[in-house]
Amino acid sequence: MAQLTILVTGATDGIGRQAALDCARQGMRVLVHARSRQRGEPVLDELRRAAGGGNLELVVADLASLDQVRALARELQDRIGHLDVLINNAAVYMKERVLTPDGFETTFAVNHLAPFLLTGLVMDLLKAAPAARVVNVASMAYQGGQLEYDNLQGERRFDGFSAYALSKLANVMFTLELAGRLGATAITANCLHPGVVTTKLLTQGFGFSGIPVERGSRTVTYLALSPEVLARSGGYYVDCRPTPVAGLARESGVRTKLWEHTEALVGPFGLPGGDPQEGRTPKAGSPELRGPRTPAPPAH
């Protein structure tokens, strides 16, 4: 296989780190995303040792800040000529409602808004590749997600699992809607449930462990690299097999509404501005962001 350029978000820990290592071991150029240089540089060194060298590079952005997501996209535009694979893996699980500097609930911002925004902003790089792939790491937890637009970010009530499940539902719905909109291009979009994997998110968020990350990353690397799925799009995969989606994710009108709502928060898909009228991200206090405000910690 020819060398591909691959971006893995949330690549300093867990599934993302293992997926970056898997891709590097297969000779790919891997852009290892970290939320900070302090966190990323030691991991980059460890990955290079584990891969026996490898073509690994560090990119840095705190995905809880949409301005930093935009800055990351600009850096990529300057740094690479094309992007073959985008793996949107970064995610957080928050036990309490915490707002980002932009005024968004952190789970919703990091797990949904950031990958939506980043994917749109690197679309030109994906289109420049002969055949590109977007791989979104979702979770079977999406089946518990509820779309209540008056409580989408915990404005009325907040529960950590409910917020996480909603964000994973948004990942699945974004993937299917994106695949439909990319139908005439050479870009595919697929999502997956990696399994119940022993990661920091699982142990800190849920308090138990699961399968090893080496197994949990298999479906990620399968969707990123396998020729079997090069032309397949709009799928939800479990154990490297396509699996029917359930519930709200099947409804195209519901998916379209969420897409349009997301654009209202971060700006039109693929454009660098924030609010489409004002060119900025909506701040806390706007109607869609009502609720208690707490300073946000760095995104994981």
Annotated catalytic residue within 93, 142, 164, 222: 164
Do residues 8 and 32 make contact, with C-beta atoms less than 8 angstroms apart? yes
Residue 27's CB: how many other CB atoms inside 10 A?
A: 14
Residue 97's CB: how many other CB atoms inside 10 A?
A: 20
Q: What pLDDT is stored for residue 255 in this prediction?
A: 97
Annotation says 222 is catalytic: no
Q: Domain segments of the chain: what residues? A: 5-289
What is the arithmetic mean of pLDDT over 162-176?
Answer: 97
Q: What pLDDT is stored for residue 297 in this prediction?
A: 39
Give the CATH fold of the 5-289 domain: Rossmann fold (3.40.50)
Reported as a single tens digit per residue, the pLDDT across 217-251 is 999 999 999 999 999 999 999 999 999 999 999 99
Reported as a single tens digit per residue, the pLDDT across 111-157 is 999 999 999 999 999 999 999 999 999 999 999 999 999 999 999 99
pTM: 0.88
* Segments in the chain forming alpha helices (H): 14-25, 37-50, 66-79, 106-108, 114-121, 123-127, 160-181, 200-206, 213-216, 218-225, 252-266
Task: Examine the pLDDT at 282 and tell me if it is beyond 70.
Answer: no
Q: What is the largest CA-CA distance in the chain?
A: 52
